[in-house]
Amino acid sequence: MSTVTESVDVNVPIGTAYNQWTQFEDFPKFMDGVESISQTGPTHTHWVTKIGGQTREFDAEITEQHPDERVAWRSTSGDTKHAGVVTFHRLADNETRVTIQLDWEPEGLVEKVGSAVGVDSHQVKADAKRFKEFIESRGTETGAWRGDVSRPGA
């Protein structure tokens, strides 16, 4: 399993950063390699990605979500095994630290070598920077879903 962690400070209030992150269908606007995301239910999404010329499709489930604090997910089907969490930390009234942690299972030689040399880390860092540019240039979120989701037994 490969783990990537990246943080970015965005110059918007915590609610704005969090609300934007819940708008999964907007991810292709700032995530390189994400072709599309469809919200198939309150806690379920379908992803289509194209990275390194390889297209993958998978379903993911939100396993934990607490407004202005965190969103966690895991893949549930398809050919990509991954899980992640994004946390939001208030630094000031108009400044928020967004921390992304992604755990994934590289498949095949190309992905394993790419992970070993840090290509995945570079990708997450670039996506975090594009998220910062996206939300700061707008100044407001494109929408919001502030539902609370807890893991069973949590």
Q: Considering the chain, what is the average pLDDT of its residues?
A: 88
Q: Torsion angle of alpha carbons 22, 25, 26, 27, nearest 10°?
A: 80
Alpha-carbon torsion (74, 78, 5, 11), positive or negative: negative
pTM for the model stands at 0.89
Q: What is the pLDDT of residues 43-52, one digit of tens each?
A: 999 999 887 7
Question: Residue 143: is it exposed, middle or buried by C-beta count within 10 angstroms (0-12/13-18/19+)?
Answer: exposed
Q: Could you tell me the pLDDT band of residue 153, with boundaries at 50, 70 and 90?
A: low
User: Which residue ranges make up each domain of the chain?
Assistant: 2-138
Q: Give me the pLDDT at residue 89, please.
A: 98
Q: How distant, in Å, are the alpha carbons of 13, 47, 64, 137 from that of 75?
A: 29, 10, 13, 31
Q: Which CATH number fits domain 2-138: 3.20.20.80, 3.30.70.260, 3.40.605.10, 3.30.530.20?
A: 3.30.530.20
Mean pLDDT, residues 48-69:
90
Q: What percent of the chain has pLDDT over 90?
A: 66
pLDDT exceeds cutoff 60 at 118: no
DSSP per position, 138-150: HSS-S------B-
What pLDDT does 78 receive?
Answer: 80
> Residue 109: is its pLDDT beyond 90?
no
DSSP conformational letter for 11: S
The distance of Cα 144 from the centroid of its chain, to the nearest Å, equals 15
| 48 strand-pairing partners | 36, 57
